[in-house]
Structure 1
């Protein structure tokens, strides 16, 4: 971002994004830093329980960092592996410290792999990008480093791109999983099923279902390397479930129209008289925001909708959102623009932090949708939904019908 933000905190860093996708895997995750870079993850960005998770910071002094002490780093890593013999791979995660001191991670990784006989993956994050870049590059590195050729299963589907930072607790996706399993599919969350097999056997999938733009890099790799097609969507509301089933039917070459009709039992809220012409502002993760917009249009017949996001517009971030789909999302760079858009809206869907821009006398409807990459664990356990019928009912609760 080019301008300062005074009341809204910065987004989680790229290395926090990497740590969020490594969290459930049986890996040794080492951040190259003396100490300070660990605190944002432990205290803010990670909303799950740290029990039985192998996250370590390198035990280097400030002088060590300045001088560069690869041998000491390697000795510490070897000792950690000795104390945790059942690890499936090792992750070395970059921080601002490693970026500034220009550490040769490739050399360290090769030596560590030779000594421990365990695969080592480098996540060359620098701490100056936001979480979306870390997740995008991290998922791609896992796909390239650990995925293997496998016999295709026509009933197997990978869900790629899930992270708590972007999408909250996984239980918000339970309805999606249930729908997919009820039509006979085996559903695997790539890198998020608590098992390395979700990565090593990912090439079994007949199709990859990308639920955040951060998953596109890995999906493109699987398409090029293993010829697995993919589609990107997030099933917000009833319309979202319907849309995803249509896309799945196309990719799997099966007719799911009857199942779609039986699952998506619309309540025919055709025109909520009170809100049909209101201006809606959605602030948050771009793909989820687009899904909410389509839900509002199809399920509630509300059409005056603007989407903005404060995900930064660095070169790497722009690459993630290069598809035409995201041309409708406005990337704001300062709080002045956020306040302007909020002042013009009647209904706002955003992280609760944005209520700071709303006065009680403004008489606006605010629908909270926590964005963990922004507010961390502060609102993570709030009761909210967005997927499928539960998402529809959540938005309906705020948009009460008069018909």
Structure 2
């Protein structure tokens, strides 16, 4: 009887929106500290997460598809309750100095987590003290574990560019890739494929932030003629580089086979005119298809549907925040599982494209789900089924979506 009363109160709170952030089917998405760690993975640095082991274990076990083949020096500070209460920063500093002398990394990064956030730990102050002591670059990140991974990636790229980049003469046909990361693109051939697409069109990749890049490449990145932004996490860096060094950007993820020609012409125009571009077809509308996921990747799938198949009734549902620079007026900023469920129950959409874990929500509607795994959502459950964005696999996937829609509408 008591349990029944509790459940009734619980359901009442959900109906009134007081527990609107509760998730029954979707896990917590990758957080900012995972985005920072992922961004620094290919660099010769030492990363320390100020936590009690749980956040660091979550990153290496759940958010890093490259970990099992190529481990990196990523440490937990071993934060204990008494350390948090007493604010014993000296203990943390001594541990980091000891590890530094054993590993001799090129730089050190210190990351916050929920507990240091609550007690007000000054990560940037600790980093500055260490830098004065060790005389190497030390980055302090005020990560909280309460923001999404894309914010961590964005913050990391901007910190690195501000520390290392040096202005130089522009080099024709040189391009940077911004926002390339394992949480959006996994550990298959996606990163190499995107670089190869640009190379095949006669462009030299100066730096690919943040997969397969190095500190010297970051140093020379302001010499690029144009930036190509391939995920939402690259937008702030693109705007920073445009304001600081006058480098225009083109925002689009190479997708499928044929639509990449449009990217090349847009890149050429951006270089010639010095104006940035977000690739997007005209006359898009809120129609029969809903793509739920990373905003720029979803935009790019929509663009292929519109330009190659004439399917323009496509809405993007942003899981990790809606960037107005990339969005149409009718795109949706999904802030909770409940909001997704309510939108699907309207039975407006015939097709939903998104992570396989959305199936439980889609099944409650009349829509058909086309599964598109995303590391930041379903983690290791599906990262071995990650699609390759450039080439036949994605071309066939989008073609099947288009054909299915035609069959539904007949």
Please, what TM-score do these two structures have when normalized by structure 1? 0.84
Distance in 1 (alpha carbons) for counterparts of 2:216 and 2:259: 29
Change (3 A) 1:386 1:108: same
Structure 2 residue 308 is the aligned partner of structure 1 residue 290: no
Aligned alpha-carbon RMSD (Å): 2.6
Distance in 1 (alpha carbons) for counterparts of 2:24 and 2:366: 25
Structure 2 residue 373 is the aligned partner of structure 1 residue 355: no
Q: Secondary structure at the match of 1:166?
A: helix
Distance in 1 (alpha carbons) for counterparts of 2:213 and 2:386: 25
Distance in 1 (alpha carbons) for counterparts of 2:393 and 2:261: 14
Q: Which has the higher contact order (CA 8 A, sep 6+)?
A: 1
Contact 2:290 2:352 in 1 (8 A): yes
Distance in 1 (alpha carbons) for counterparts of 2:328 and 2:49: 32
1:5 corresponds to which of 6, 23, 27: 23
Cα shift at 1:202? 1.2
Contact 1:283 1:349 in 2 (8 A): yes
Structure 2 residues without counterparts, runs of 5 or longer? 1-18, 274-285
Cα shift at 1:138? 1.8
Q: Secondary structure at the match of 2:315?
A: strand
Q: Secondary structure at the match of 2:385?
A: coil
Change (3 A) 1:7 1:285: same
Q: Secondary structure at the match of 2:47?
A: strand
Distance in 1 (alpha carbons) for counterparts of 2:386 and 2:50: 36
> Superposition pairs for residues 204-353 of structure 1, below 5 Å?
204-238=223-257, 240-253=259-272, 279-312=288-321, 321-323=323-325, 325-342=327-344, 343-353=347-357
Total equivalences in the alignment:
372
1:127 corresponds to which of 145, 167, 186: 145
Contact 2:188 2:388 in 1 (8 A): no
Distance in 1 (alpha carbons) for counterparts of 2:298 and 2:216: 31
Change (3 A) 1:387 1:365: farther
Single out whichever of 377-386 and 92-101 deviates more from structure 2: 377-386
1:152 corresponds to which of 167, 170, 179: 170
Q: Secondary structure at the match of 1:208?
A: strand
Distance in 2 (alpha carbons) for counterparts of 1:240 and 1:333: 31
What does residue 368 of structure 1 align with?
371
Change (3 A) 1:169 1:133: same
Change (3 A) 1:107 1:177: closer
Q: Secondary structure at the match of 1:237?
A: coil
Structure 2 residue 380 is the aligned partner of structure 1 residue 377: yes
2:103 corresponds to which of 84, 92, 104: 84
Structure 1 residues without counterparts, runs of 5 or longer? 255-276, 313-317
